[in-house]
Structure formats: structure tokens, C-alpha cells
Chains A and B, each alone.
Chain A
Amino acid sequence: EAQVTQNPRYLITVTGKKLTVTCSQNMNHEYMSWYRQDPGLGLRQIYYSMNVEVTDKGDVPEGYKVSRKEKRNFPLILESPSPNQTSLYFCASSWGRQGPYEQYFGPGTRLTVT
């Protein structure tokens, strides 16, 4: 089954404790993205990647890191989480840069930073 998986689905952590949210897709997609969703703001793009070893900042990259060492994986790293990073996080992937290539979303990771 074609899918994007994220782990963990739920995470409660404390300020400053480094964490990684994993994302993996099995569709051989070139493009992957991370978003955060906050009430009233919709989804905001954190980072995206157009291929292995190629990443770029989205609209809200501060406090986050990513890496793309393999095509299928795109982990999101919070080196020193803060309470304002409490949010619902989505990973997404898609086929191409242009054209009718919608993004396939993972199930989401709900993160709480206390």
C-alpha cells in the first residue's frame, strides 16, 4: 500500500530535550516536506526536499533541522524543543515539482513540549 508513515504519532516531551520525528514514504517520491498545523493558521511549511541531499527552508524553519540521506526518509529534528513548538506535524511527499502532483500526507504527529 502506498503510504507516508510518521513516528511517533504522539509525543510529550520537556523543553530542551532533543527529539526526532521520522518520516518514510514507499512511493519513490522525489519531493518531501514537513508542515506544522496550528489552529487558525492552517499548515505552514517548515522544510522541504527536492531530492537526496537537497533541502530548503519553508516559511517557518527556525528551531528545526532536517536531513535527506535516503530518498525514502526525511526526519525532522528538534535540537532544543520549546513550548511554542507544540503543534501537529505532518510529513508529505509528491512525485514532481510541477504539474498535478498532489502531496501525500502522513497521519500526523502531535507534539507537546512542556
Chain B
Amino acid sequence: AQKITQTQPGMFVQEKEAVTLDCTYDTSDPSYGLFWYKQPSSGEMIFLIYQGSYDQQNATEGRYSLNFQKARKSANLVISASQLGDSAMYFCAMRADNYGQNFVFGPGTRLSVLP
């Protein structure tokens, strides 16, 4: 079975500093994709970044980067230079490629950026 663990229910970070949100995953499928989504207080789900299990390099998208450590089954999200607008819930998710579109999400981490 697929599982995502996010051990930080809540995090605080000072504006302009970097923050790492933890995500560990479990799957027996050798081919999978890892995703991070942001959910602001308005409720919509916003895609941030993707990492494929066979990708050699860590994914980056602007201020977001994914620290992918395959052997440890971790896919931490790093946000550099935090902004007040980064305050939101962040979800790590996984799609096991040999299980169709069976996506599994973690419980989320609520990030609060302090001025």
C-alpha cells in the first residue's frame, strides 16, 4: 500500500528565511511521482512541484525545490526566501504509476510566515 507521512502539523518561519517541510513516502512500486500542493485559506489546491522516481536531479520551480532522497524515501519541500503569501497548508502526494491514478496525500503541514 502507498502511504505519505508528514510529521510536522504546523511550522513557523520568519519572512525572508528558508523553510523545509518534511515528507516521507512508502511504496513498493519502482515507478512513481511525488507532488507538492499548496492550499491557502481560500481553499483552492495549487500545484507547486513534481519529482519523478527516475529523475536524477532534484526538481526546482522558482523559490520551491524538492530535496529528493530516494534511498531514505523522503521528498522534502524547501521554500527559499519565505513570503507572507506562503502561509498555507502544504500537502505532499504520491502517484504510484502501476496503480493507475491512485493518488495518496499526506495529512498536510500548516506553514505560518511571520513578518
Contact = CB atoms under 8 A, between A and B. Distances in A.
Contact of A42 (B35, B43, B97, B105): B105
Contacts of B101: 31, 33, 48-50, 94, 97
A52 to B, nearest CB: 14
B64 interface: no
Interface in B28-57: 31, 33, 35, 37, 43-45, 47, 50, 52
B33 A90 contact: no
A102 B45 CA distance: 11
Given A50-B101, A105-B45, A100 B108 contact: no
Nearest to B47: A102
B45 A48 contact: no
A44 interface: yes
Contacts of A81: none
B57 to A, nearest CB: 13
B91 A42 contact: yes
B44 A97 contact: no
Nearest to B50: A100
B107 A41 contact: yes
A42 B106 contact: yes
B103 to A, nearest CB: 5
Interface string A90-114: 1010100111101111011000000
B104 interface: yes
Given A49-B101, A97-B101, A98-B31, 13 more contacts: A42-B6, A44-B105, A48-B102, A48-B103, A58-B103, A94-B101, A98-B33, A99-B33, A102-B47, A102-B50, A103-B103, A104-B47, A105-B45
19 contacts: A31-B101, A42-B106, A43-B93, A48-B100, A50-B101, A58-B102, A58-B103, A97-B101, A99-B33, A100-B50, A100-B52, A102-B35, A103-B45, A103-B47, A103-B103, A105-B45, A107-B43, A107-B44, A108-B43
Interface of A: 31, 33, 35, 40-45, 48-50, 56, 58-59, 88, 90, 92, 94, 97-100, 102-105, 107-108
